[in-house]
Structure 1
Amino acid sequence: RTKKFFNPVFLFYYRLLHPKYSAVTDVYVLIFLCDFINFIIVIFGYWAFGKHSAGADVMSSISENQVDLHVYLMPLTHFQSSDLDETLYYSAVTDVYVLIFLCDFINFIIVIFGYWAFGVRTSCYDFSTSWLVQMYVFASTFFLRNKLQMVNFFCYEEQNVFGLSVEYILVQCTFLPSFQVVPFLVELRYVMDWVWTDTTLGLSSWLQMEDIYANIFCLKCMREAEKRYPIPRGVKKKAMVKYGAGGLLVFLLIIIIWFPLLFMSLVNTAGLPNHPIDATIEIAMGGYQPLFKMSAQQQYLRGVDQEEYDNMFRRFLIDPNAMTFLSRYEAVDIVKVKIDGNSRSIWGISPPSRHAMLNDLLSDNPITVRVEWQFTRDPTTGSSEFAGDEYSFQILQGDPQRLKLAAMLNGTLQEPVEIYNLFPKYVKVPGVKGVARPANELMTAPGNRLDFSNVTVRLNHSRVTEELEGEVEWWTVQELVGVGPDRRSMPYMEMITFNDKVSPPEFSFLAGYGIVGLYLSLVLVVGKFVRMFVSGISYRIMFTEMPNVDRILKLCLDIFLVRETGELSLEEDLFSKLIFLYRSPETMIKWSKEKTS
C-alpha cells in the first residue's frame, strides 16, 4: 500500500528529470517578476506575517531607527532564496534545482498555513487588502512557472538579461538605465554571473564584456527605432518635440535651481504653527548665584488675536523694515509670553559670595549683568526642541544703580531699583535651527539696547515659619510700562515671540537643511548628476554614434554562444578580437559602416 501511495510521486519527478522530449523554453523573466513582487510584499507588508506586529509600518520603523529582528530576517531570507534560485538557474543544475524547489515549496506551505493558523487568521480575504492573499497568489504563480521551467529545461540566454524580451526596441533601452541606477544591483548581477558561469575571463574582463554588450544593446535599439521612424533630411524638429520634451526639461531644471527657495517659502506660508510650550528667563549678575529664574507655561503663553495683530501693524506703519518683518508672520504665529515677577527659586547665595558681590558693587570695576531666555517647543513637530539666546551688558562705575543694589544687599534700602533696557520686548524664534535673537527689525535702531524693556528689581525677605528662626530671600522683577505720569510697574514681564512655521513632519528632514544646506546637498548633487550626461560627450562619439552595430553585436552573441557550449578557448579568442576592435578606431569604423547594397 505504501508503494502504491508513493509511486505516482516518484514517477512524476522521474519524468520531470528524464523527459522523452520537451521544447526548450525560457520563462525566467516571469519567475523573477513574481519573486520580485513577493519581495516587495514582504518589505511593505511584513506586519501581516507576525502575531504581535499588526498595523506596523516599515517606513516609520526605519525613520525611528528601530528594526525588529523578524523585519530583518524575512527580507533577508527571501533575498537569499532569490539569489540561490538565480544561481541554480545560471548553473542549469536540474537535480539540485528540483531539490531546492521542493524545500522552498514546503517552506512556503508551512509559513502560509502556519501564520494563518496562529494569530493572523481573519475574516477578510480580499486580494486588495490582504498581504497574505497577495503573497499566496504570486508565490503560486512563481512555483507554477518554476515547474514549467524545469519541465522544459533551462535556456539561459545571456543576451536576454536586460529586458523582458530580445526585441531591440526603445523600451528595452529605457529599461537598462533604470536597472543600472539601482545601487549595487548591476554589480551583484555581474559578480553572480561570473561566479556561477564557466568562463576563461577574469572578473575585470567579464565586466568589460558586460559593459560593451550593454552599450551595443542600447545602440541597436536606437538604430532600429531610427529605421522604424525615419526622419527626412533637412526638416526642422517639430514644435511638439521641442516644446514638449525641451520645454519639460527647461521647466524641471528651473524647478531644481529654485527648489530650495520655493520650498522654504512654502514652509513659511503654508507650514504648521510652532508655538513654544515653555519659556524661561534667567537673570544673573557678575557670575554669582542667579538673581531671578522663572518659567511660563499654558495660560501664560497666549496667542494674539487679529485685532492685536492689526494694532501692531499700525504701530510700525511708518517703518518699512518693520512692515517687511511683520508681513512674514500671521496672527497665529505670534505669542505673548508673561513671566511672573516672583522668582521660582530662593536666592541661596552663600555669605562669602554675598560679601564678594557687595564689594564688587562698591568697587570701581564694571559689573556684568547677564539675561538668558530659552523657549521649548514640541519636538514632534520636526523643529529643534530648544531655542534661546542670552544678552549681557555692564553697569559701569558711578552708576547710581550700583549703589542702590549694594544698599539693598545691606538691607538699608527696601524700595525697588530700576534697571533700564534689561531684556528684549520682541524675539524671533526660528523654526528648526538657530538661536532666538531679538527682533532687530522692530527696533528704532537695530541692535540698540535702548529699545529693550525697563524693569524694577527688589530683594524680598521672609521668615520660613513662625516657629523656625531664619529668613529666606528671593528677587522680584517687574516690567515698567508707560511714560510720564502713566509710568507704572506690572507684576510680570512680557515678551512677544514671532515663531517661524515648520514644515509638516513628512518634509521636516528637508526643512532641517535650510536654504544653504539644500543648495549644497540637493541642487549641487543633482547638478553634478545632470552634468555627467551633458559633459564629455565628444569623447564618447566614437562609441555612441556607430551607424551599424550588427557585426559587433553578432560578435558579442557569438561569445555568449561559445561560452554556453563550453568552447572556452574560442571564447578567449573572440573576446581578444572584441578588445582589439575597441582599441583600433580604424577597424571600428570599418566594422560599424552602414551596409551598402
Structure 2
Amino acid sequence: MSIRGKHDPLFITIYSNCACTFRFSLQMYSSGNPTNIANPVKDANVQVDIKTASGRLTLYQTTLCERLQWDKLNADINLDPRGVLDTYNENDIQLICCQADASILWLVPNVVQTRFIQSLDWEMDMDIIFTWVLTRDRPKGKEVVKYERTIDPPYLPKKSDVQKVLNGSMNSFRIYNLYPRYFRVTGSGDIRPLEQEEISVSADLVINRVDNEWWSFHDVNSSNVTGCGRLTGPMAIIISEETPPQGIIGDTLSKFSIWGLYITFVLAVGRFIRLQCSDLRMRIPYENLPSCDRLIALCEDIYAARAEGELGVEEVLYWTLVKIYRSPHMLLEYTKTE
C-alpha cells in the first residue's frame, strides 16, 4: 500500500479543511487580547422600598454616588482592618459613597399614604427591600448588575413606627442589617457579598418635612467608617473583577466564561473536522479511485437505455454496476489507468 501523495484528491480535501479551520481559529483569537483589564464601576445608585400586599412604595432613592479608587484614598484611612482585601488588586477596589439625602422628592399623595398606613394594620406581612444597582462597561449585555435584598423580619422596624413616620407623628425609624459593607462583582456580571467579611449596615430612614418632603438615609455606624467625608449616606466597598477586553474572544469569555470558549472553539471546530474526516473508507469508492471513466460510461449507458425505453437493457447494466461496486477486486480492475 502506497502512502498518499500531496496531489491526492482526498489529501487535498482534508488539508484544505484543516487549514481553513486553523486560519479561522487564529483569526478569532487575534480579535481579542486574552489579558484581562480593569473594569471599574462607572455608576451606582441605591433604593429602599417598602412593600405590603397592597403595593410598593419607594422611600429613598439616590443616584448621587461618588466612586473613589482604593489607591487614591488617604493612607491614614483604614477601611480593611481585617486585611481581607490584601489578596485583591488595588486597581479593582473602589469605595462607593452616596449622599444621605434622596435625589427624588416624596410626592406620594396624602390619600395614598392614608390607605397605605391602613394596609399596615390589615396585612400580616411588611417587607423592606434594599437595592444596589451598579453599572460597568463590560461584559456586553450585563453592564448593569443589581443586588436586591429583602430584609429579614427580625431586623424590620415595628409597623407602628412606620405608621407614625408616614402620618407625621415621628420622623424616623431604624432598619438593621440592610446590606453587607463589602461586595464582589464577578467578571461574568454577578454581584455577591464578600464571603470573608460579614459586616452589615444598619441605618435610620428619616423623612424631612420643610417646603418639600424627602427621605434621608443615615448610616448608624457612619462614625466608625471614614473615607467618604461629607457623604454620610449608603457606603460600600466594591471589588470589580477584571474582564477580557472587547472582541469575539473577550465577549465570549465575559458572557460564558472559559466553558463557553471551550464549547465554541474546541467542541464546535473539533466536530467540524471530525465530520469532514469520518467514514473516509466509505468515500474511497466514490472520491479516491484512479480512473472512473469506465464507471461513468456505464452510468451514461444506463441513462441512455432508460431514455430509449430499453428497460431490460437498463436493468442488466444497473445490476452490472451494482456487482462491480460489491466486489473490490472488480472495482479495482474497472478503475485502473490504461
Q: TM-score, normalised by structure 1?
A: 0.42
TM-superposed deviation, 1:340: 0.7
Distance in 1, Cα, partners of 2:100 & 2:241: 27
The aligned residue for residue 347 of structure 1 is 106
TM-superposed deviation, 1:290: 0.4
**Is residue 393 of structure 1 aligned with residue 135 of structure 2?**
no
**Is residue 510 of structure 1 aligned with residue 252 of structure 2?**
yes
Distance in 2, Cα, partners of 1:313 & 1:383: 32
TM-superposed deviation, 1:422: 1.0
The aligned residue for residue 170 of structure 1 is 6
Question: CA, structure 1 residues 439+308, in 2 after alignment: closer, same or farther (shift >3 Å)?
Answer: farther
Distance in 2, Cα, partners of 1:178 & 1:314: 61
Distance in 1, Cα, partners of 2:149 & 2:157: 22
Distance in 2, Cα, partners of 1:587 & 1:342: 94
The aligned residue for residue 234 of structure 2 is 493
State the AA in 1 paired with 2:142: S
Question: CA, structure 1 residues 382+273, in 2 after alignment: closer, same or farther (shift >3 Å)?
Answer: farther
The aligned residue for residue 230 of structure 1 is none
TM-superposed deviation, 1:516: 3.8
The aligned residue for residue 82 of structure 1 is none
Please point out which of 20, 43, 50 is paired with 1:285: 50
CA contact 1:366–1:394 (8 Å) conserved in 2: no
Unaligned ranges ≥5, structure 1: 1-167, 184-251, 318-322, 445-450, 464-471
Question: CA, structure 1 residues 493+282, in 2 after alignment: closer, same or farther (shift >3 Å)?
Answer: same
Unaligned ranges ≥5, structure 2: 308-313
Question: CA, structure 1 residues 569+409, in 2 after alignment: closer, same or farther (shift >3 Å)?
Answer: closer
Within a 5 Å distance, the mapping from 1:313-392 to structure 2 comes to 315-316=82-83, 327=87, 329-361=88-120, 365-378=124-137, 382=140, 384-392=142-150
The aligned residue for residue 185 of structure 2 is 429
State the AA in 2 paired with 1:289: L
Higher helix share: 1
Question: CA, structure 1 residues 371+313, in 2 after alignment: closer, same or farther (shift >3 Å)?
Answer: closer
The aligned residue for residue 166 of structure 2 is 409
Distance in 2, Cα, partners of 1:425 & 1:540: 66
Question: CA, structure 1 residues 521+429, in 2 after alignment: closer, same or farther (shift >3 Å)?
Answer: same
The aligned residue for residue 475 of structure 1 is 215
**Is residue 301 of structure 1 aligned with residue 67 of structure 2?**
yes
TM-superposed deviation, 1:370: 1.0
Moved more, 275-284 or 578-587: 578-587
TM-superposed deviation, 1:337: 1.2
Alpha carbon RMSD of aligned pairs, Å?
Answer: 4.6
> Larger Cα Rg: Structure 1 or Structure 2?
1
Question: CA, structure 1 residues 419+386, in 2 after alignment: closer, same or farther (shift >3 Å)?
Answer: same
CA contact 2:101–2:217 (8 Å) conserved in 1: yes
Determine helix, strand or coil for the equivalent of 1:509: helix
State the AA in 2 paired with 1:475: W
Distance in 1, Cα, partners of 2:262 & 2:56: 45
**Is residue 275 of structure 1 aligned with residue 40 of structure 2?**
yes
Identity within the alignment, %: 18
Determine helix, strand or coil for the equivalent of 1:315: coil
Determine helix, strand or coil for the equivalent of 1:289: strand
Instruction: Tell me the alpha carbon deviations over residues 473-519 of structure 1, each in whole angstroms, 9 at most, x when there is no partner.
Output: 110002122799x9xx9722111222132222123332233334334
The aligned residue for residue 11 of structure 1 is none
Please point out which of 195, 210, 214 is paired with 1:441: 195
CA contact 1:366–1:395 (8 Å) conserved in 2: no
Question: CA, structure 1 residues 288+348, in 2 after alignment: closer, same or farther (shift >3 Å)?
Answer: farther
Within a 5 Å distance, the mapping from 1:73-152 to structure 2 comes to none
Please point out which of 301, 310, 330 is paired with 1:587: 330
The aligned residue for residue 268 of structure 2 is 525
Distance in 2, Cα, partners of 1:427 & 1:504: 23
Question: CA, structure 1 residues 311+531, in 2 after alignment: closer, same or farther (shift >3 Å)?
Answer: farther
State the AA in 2 paired with 1:279: A
Determine helix, strand or coil for the equivalent of 1:170: coil
Distance in 2, Cα, partners of 1:177 & 1:483: 72
Distance in 1, Cα, partners of 2:157 & 2:134: 33
Instruction: Tell me the alpha carbon deviations over residues 423-470 of structure 1, each in whole angstroms, 9 at most, x when there is no partner.
Output: 23222324454x43x3242344xxxxxx4211111110012xxxxxxx
State the AA in 2 paired with 1:348: L
CA contact 1:333–1:501 (8 Å) conserved in 2: yes
Within a 5 Å distance, the mapping from 1:11-90 to structure 2 comes to none
Distance in 2, Cα, partners of 1:364 & 1:348: 24
**Is residue 458 of structure 1 aligned with residue 206 of structure 2?**
yes
State the AA in 2 paired with 1:510: T
Question: CA, structure 1 residues 588+392, in 2 after alignment: closer, same or farther (shift >3 Å)?
Answer: same
State the AA in 2 paired with 1:403: S
CA contact 1:361–1:367 (8 Å) conserved in 2: yes
Higher strand share: 2
State the AA in 1 paired with 2:260: G
TM-superposed deviation, 1:359: 3.0
State the AA in 2 paired with 1:387: V
State the AA in 1 paired with 2:144: F
Determine helix, strand or coil for the equivalent of 1:358: helix
Distance in 2, Cα, partners of 1:277 & 1:461: 33
Question: CA, structure 1 residues 301+374, in 2 after alignment: closer, same or farther (shift >3 Å)?
Answer: same
CA contact 1:481–1:490 (8 Å) conserved in 2: no
